[in-house]
Structure 1
């Protein structure tokens, strides 16, 4: 540092002008355009971003180990803490799903025991669960997947599915033993008799689940692992059902010589179903009318179900965005941020907010950010300590933020599907032929959307960014011997900063930056006090002699989307206002207030909502088509599978009823629940229809065949249905990290399969009877 101070700038005879005589020299931050506070204390922040495809939990654990080593070397008065840790939510979510996995296993085994009323018989399908799951682990390893929230979620939902095939095989073998066959012969004949059903249901389920792995877009890529894991879990369970289950039955079923009575509840239900089935078979029109009314009501209820990309999860953190007017100073923005911090301080005292750290002029890319912007990260206390959901806390804070004048302030619940947490969920692109047009249209729509449940609407094309336009008289400068390089270097040094060289000290390299004092830089009149030396006349010439300036304003940036001048209207949602409803309302409003030549599109989370929704809808339709074709191939008839495939609308209808009753939204997770419903309801239909066909081959009439098939297959249908229901219950009742997404999917499965199974117990026999009678005629 002393060497820089002693540098000679000019000599006047014996007198020397040194650098320290005409400047202030210090070692300091290269930029003072931003700063960070943690719990209202000045701090230094370090952001660590993992590399693509690296494991979040592994990286986080290694970072924490390194931080412990660093903390030991810090002075005692320096505190070090983690303000934002993404791995906490991930670790808690995995723990919750892992716990649900074991609860589901226990509940499903209890269901099997209730129906089979035999400890020995219960052990056989119970063994299917660990064997299938362990086998699925090999697929996870083979494809390079990780044990994450989605793979664990797939395993939990698969619990009810992977025992289904074993239940069907076991129940058929047990029925034959009860009819007098010995255990070995019953195992061989029972497995042969049910092989077609197992293969058919497995192919159908894989046809439904595997297309999830081929969905495009960001959301689709998230569910690749989910679809693959679920599909292979079902495949392994079918292989076990056709090999291990018959073998175990032949060995251990004969050991269970004790005669056990069927549970009284099951006996009563069988009697009720027998009487009601006879009534429905004699009054099939009533079954059709009832089913049609149920579907019609579902269409009406669909209009009232909230729609969004994904449910708002309690991720243990929320973010507050602060955007001041263009041209605001760092001090002005910091004053607004301090007001926000004061609003949040009571929540720290209430033991709800753990850490609050504020970044003014954030530069996440390593470069200084805009001084009129700031972000506040509020990390909440752990889920088991807090009494309130994150959404409730944000909902209470939101109005308080809106009451702070002088800036655009809104709170953000981080999205659950990997979208940027710093962008508003509503992002409408308005494009036109010129920026004047899009600015006019954007302002019109911005004023109109205040009637909707949107907060802090804003357009990014605003001519309010102050700018100083410099005009250089190049001819005059050339006459006076002032070069263009002199001009640009001087203006850059006095009104911005200029990096001239570097120096090394203690192994670190520092940039040497020249910069005028702040009060000098912000004053345009400083042009009169800047002199340049002429190379022709050896005189100092004021800069103002050949540089004039004009104060004006421009837009901060000019966007072109799809090669057209564009602006983006962004807004946040008030709590309880779904994204789908907001986009629908704003689209209709745009058509009413904007001219026909205004081009509208979406970006960000809004675009992902439409793309993911449409792709999932296509996936569901494709799954229905594939299921029909698979059944047609297996039954060798295009007519026979209609009795099964026509029950799919009932399954979807039952799922919609569930969403309406529970108040849950239609989102990516619930749509995957609908996809599972298609496979589950089809599986039950195959059990009944396939056995009815075999009875008809033995000479029974259509009415008697479908009646006997429905009664004989009642127990396996109920067992597989209730096993799936009980497998989903732990996810429905779960709480904590990520519970909202798990609930959306599991609730559709639980409520949908319950209602649709009850209806299809009567609808399938009615449809089979109608279709087969028509075909024979």
Structure 2
């Protein structure tokens, strides 16, 4: 009451406060970080280790297992997974929610330091990293024009340093680059002639290529640093390296080898739109604004393009900020459309531009105030937080409508403008505060929800809460003040009948007759309500469930895998066929970027039989088909290409929620798991709706085992390590030092000519040099056995594991999971082997469980708030009867629109728990007010219904119609909020009807019960 009086008496002070808040909000929105989704903090750490050219079995036994064993004791770890493949190991640690990952990483580093000495000498130092979905590149830029070597040098010297200096850019990596090296091509004939070994040459190169500080010497008053300079200055220096033969003669390196300045043989190829290119991938800093960084990079591209040769071209291949901009733009449009619809509804009811303006002002003020609160709480401006504003558009004006309606009622009774504003606002301010508080408290339990659901929707909850708090303050301060100044003419009736007023009179009269009817047939009303709820529950099997609705982000990924052991050249030929097939879809494809080879991890391992396309489609508004439809058509087209396994899938943007279906097979033996995986894949592929079934169990890699006979080797004075070293030099080369030139550093690599290590015959005929300088064939001391070896080995929690994954098309996730589990339960798993469901299916079950608990807690809090407001336990209980009917609207809405129950829909149900009681609060509160004035119960109910119908309809329609643009999923990225909007629209709409008729009936039953109890006590 004091706040209302103060705002009406001191309008200038209130206006200045509002202007200050608006200014603060404008400044805040300019500084808010813009992104697609809220920041997702996944507590996952990674330990990556290389073990040069070691087979997966050796990597698992010598590297992965010791690392797993060490990190498993770190506090807070829930799951440890490892992947061992040729030459590399990857260990992932997933921590429990709430764990301080910074401290956990320190603990992991400490454990790794303890076990590092147990790893093989040739194993690289373990790299410990924090995994985050934000580590995806913001943008890819292609460099085309010259040969790859020149483009690589240009990228290293100019482009990478330039882009790394741009604000917000964390790092820039180069893909498809050529690495320069100094090749020392050994002549086996001359090596044999001079009795030289590769080991001797390596030692000589190391000893001749050194620069070191050796102390200081005095010169007058100064100390001069002494530095022996001995590094190679030119290729001729390398050629002139002196070698001493076993016979004591001195020769030069070029006597037994050719020195060649060349490039390392590449294991990968990068193509953009079918043409070779070098590609820069740019990562942003964690707290940087994605859109701002992308804009900065684009302006940098235009700037640096003027300083590079004319025949070199830079082009942005994929820009992840494009979808963000389109999504933000579509949500803003939905906010504007919702605001316009809400204002139109107000104008229709209030028949006054000034009255509409008074309430409409609460929308921009609430939004701008929300931006300020978002900035100070560290929230980002993203699709979900803006979606919260779009959802709150209609609710923002609810409090102002109720206040203004009551002010109008006092004015019609003959009160002055000042008295109408103060008395009308003060009378219903407690009810308005209560109804807003009930909406706010439903979000409190979301704090206890864990996982991705919490990371995504806590910001949405905060945004809606901020907007409602701001609109409530406006309703009890600004609306009474403006009403006292602007609405003198608006509140006068000149005898003219407004068509909508006549319509509302008929609606009011019809509602009064209906209300009298349900009060007469109370049992029938209760029965119809129960029947409607029961009937809606029968729709549950037809609705289904999913985790989070997929957005049409216009990105596809095509994976091409030829037979294991295929050469890079063969994989390139298959990729060319894929590109030819994709040319039919050039109208829908904006750009495509393919990486052939390069390994599975990105930091090691051979993947010459693999290629991955990243395809960016044109915006959804410019194509006739959805991304899913194009994916299915393209997948069907590419399956006709022989000699490769090809899969097409949709890509997500900036958020990785895992595969919809992920089956984890566990057991003690890798071989049995591989066989079991084939059976499981066949069963899963037969389920309707399953798309693109994949297994981490890969086909065996052709492998030649070389078993060295240690006794025979010892007869020639050789150890196993010496034999291994010579084989390695022959077939992969050996780095013997570094050569520096003009600021660049490159390897000096000892190798034999390529024609000497191409066939099995070359291996068998290879000459091994003994300690005496003579040579023997390798087959003298080794046995060869050809077989297939695993390409990768997987473990989880120190036990072998395999993953079966798939996407889904045309069905809901819950339905597919149910069918998959039925299939798997019919399989007879060997003893000791089992399966578990992971991926989105597991996240969905966990999130639904947490949200169900949050819903129960929310309902309790709503009741508690009303009990405090009414100082009574009975009236809040009556009001709670408006909730069960919400089930009818929610299930009917999802069924009619064909949407599945998802996390956004569940959030909508929780919001409804606080929204649907608002109408009942206003109705019951006014019934009590009339009864305190001495009016009979029956007349009080009918009169309260008639007088409160108008504000109830206004608040309900503004909320519902304000969400219609969001429910229609207009624009890019709106699919995420669509279930939330549909749930609220149908839930609130149906519940309002039941509230208007059911709550008065329940009120009479409990009033009769109270009267009986009172009579008995007397």
Following superposition, the deviation at residue 598 of structure 1 comes to: 4.2
The answer as to 2:507 corresponding to 1:269 is yes
Partner of 1:35: 269
Partner of 1:757: 992
Cα separation, partners in 2 of 1:559 and 1:776, compared to 1, 3 Å = farther
Cα separation, partners in 2 of 1:97 and 1:517, compared to 1, 3 Å = farther
Following superposition, the deviation at residue 762 of structure 1 comes to: 1.3
1: CA distance, partners of 2:661 / 2:753: 42
Following superposition, the deviation at residue 739 of structure 1 comes to: 2.5
1: CA distance, partners of 2:250 / 2:1003: 111
Which of 724, 727, 748 matches 1:488?
Answer: 724
Which of 516, 523, 533 matches 2:769?
Answer: 533
- Equivalent position SS for 1:223: helix
2: CA distance, partners of 1:369 / 1:737: 38
Which of 346, 359, 374 matches 2:595?
Answer: 359
What do you get for the CA RMSD once the two structures are aligned? Answer: 2.6
The answer as to 2:920 corresponding to 1:682 is no
- Structure 1 length normalisation: TM-score? 0.93
The answer as to 2:404 corresponding to 1:167 is no
The answer as to 2:1012 corresponding to 1:774 is no
- Equivalent position SS for 1:488: helix
Which of 361, 384, 391 matches 1:150?
Answer: 384
The answer as to 2:352 corresponding to 1:118 is yes
The answer as to 2:413 corresponding to 1:193 is no
Cα separation, partners in 2 of 1:24 and 1:328, compared to 1, 3 Å = farther
Cα separation, partners in 2 of 1:708 and 1:369, compared to 1, 3 Å = farther
2: CA distance, partners of 1:26 / 1:283: 98
User: 1:435-446 counterparts in 2 under 5 A?
Assistant: 435-446=670-681
Q: Is the 8 A contact 1:498 1:515 kept in 2?
A: yes
* Superposed CA offset, 1:659-686 (max 9, x none): 1111122222222222232222121121
Which of 226, 229, 250 matches 2:484?
Answer: 250
2: CA distance, partners of 1:44 / 1:277: 74
Cα separation, partners in 2 of 1:533 and 1:616, compared to 1, 3 Å = same
Partner of 2:29: none
* Superposed CA offset, 1:590-649 (max 9, x none): 112244864332333333233333333332233222222322333333332222223223
The answer as to 2:520 corresponding to 1:282 is yes
Following superposition, the deviation at residue 139 of structure 1 comes to: 0.8
2: CA distance, partners of 1:598 / 1:709: 67
Cα separation, partners in 2 of 1:747 and 1:546, compared to 1, 3 Å = same
The answer as to 2:283 corresponding to 1:49 is yes
1: CA distance, partners of 2:343 / 2:527: 38
* Superposed CA offset, 1:711-759 (max 9, x none): 2211111111111112112223453320222323222222332232223
- Structure 2 length normalisation: TM-score? 0.72
Which of 703, 706, 709 matches 1:470?
Answer: 706
Q: Is the 8 A contact 2:320 2:653 kept in 1?
A: no
Q: Is the 8 A contact 2:912 2:987 kept in 1?
A: yes
* Superposed CA offset, 1:149-178 (max 9, x none): 222111111111111111111111111212
Cα separation, partners in 2 of 1:326 and 1:528, compared to 1, 3 Å = closer
Cα separation, partners in 2 of 1:26 and 1:289, compared to 1, 3 Å = farther
1: CA distance, partners of 2:712 / 2:835: 50
2: CA distance, partners of 1:258 / 1:639: 40
Q: Is the 8 A contact 1:320 1:377 kept in 2?
A: yes
1: CA distance, partners of 2:423 / 2:769: 106
Following superposition, the deviation at residue 18 of structure 1 comes to: 4.3
Which of 313, 331, 338 matches 2:551?
Answer: 313
Following superposition, the deviation at residue 510 of structure 1 comes to: 1.6
Partner of 1:94: 328
The worse-fitting range, judged by mean Cα deviation, of 743-752 and 100-109 is: 743-752
- Equivalent position SS for 2:735: strand
User: 1:349-498 counterparts in 2 under 5 A?
Assistant: 351-363=587-599, 365-367=602-604, 370-415=607-652, 418-419=655-656, 424-453=659-688, 454-462=690-698, 464-498=700-734
Following superposition, the deviation at residue 586 of structure 1 comes to: 0.9
Following superposition, the deviation at residue 399 of structure 1 comes to: 1.6
Cα separation, partners in 2 of 1:305 and 1:186, compared to 1, 3 Å = same
The worse-fitting range, judged by mean Cα deviation, of 383-392 and 352-361 is: 383-392
Partner of 2:101: none
Q: Is the 8 A contact 2:543 2:900 kept in 1?
A: yes
* Superposed CA offset, 1:540-576 (max 9, x none): 2333222223222233333232443321111232x31
Following superposition, the deviation at residue 111 of structure 1 comes to: 1.1
2: CA distance, partners of 1:547 / 1:701: 107
Cα separation, partners in 2 of 1:242 and 1:646, compared to 1, 3 Å = same
User: 1:15-94 counterparts in 2 under 5 A?
Assistant: 18-19=253-254, 22-23=257-258, 25-28=260-263, 30-94=264-328
1: CA distance, partners of 2:944 / 2:642: 72
1: CA distance, partners of 2:520 / 2:300: 75
Cα separation, partners in 2 of 1:706 and 1:565, compared to 1, 3 Å = farther
Which is richer in helix?
1
Partner of 2:3: none
Partner of 1:554: 789
Q: Is the 8 A contact 2:708 2:720 kept in 1?
A: no
1: CA distance, partners of 2:978 / 2:327: 13
Cα separation, partners in 2 of 1:517 and 1:66, compared to 1, 3 Å = farther
Following superposition, the deviation at residue 99 of structure 1 comes to: 1.9
2: CA distance, partners of 1:116 / 1:199: 23
Partner of 1:295: 533
1: CA distance, partners of 2:558 / 2:846: 27
Partner of 1:220: 454
Count of matched residue positions in the alignment of Structure 1 and Structure 2: 770
1: CA distance, partners of 2:457 / 2:259: 59
- Equivalent position SS for 1:637: coil
1: CA distance, partners of 2:421 / 2:804: 67
Unaligned runs of 5+ in 2: 1-233, 1013-1018
Q: Is the 8 A contact 2:553 2:627 kept in 1?
A: yes
1: CA distance, partners of 2:752 / 2:523: 90
Following superposition, the deviation at residue 355 of structure 1 comes to: 0.8
Cα separation, partners in 2 of 1:326 and 1:625, compared to 1, 3 Å = farther
Following superposition, the deviation at residue 24 of structure 1 comes to: 6.9
Cα separation, partners in 2 of 1:522 and 1:174, compared to 1, 3 Å = farther
The answer as to 2:577 corresponding to 1:343 is no
Q: Is the 8 A contact 1:652 1:677 kept in 2?
A: no
Cα separation, partners in 2 of 1:549 and 1:665, compared to 1, 3 Å = same
Following superposition, the deviation at residue 479 of structure 1 comes to: 3.4
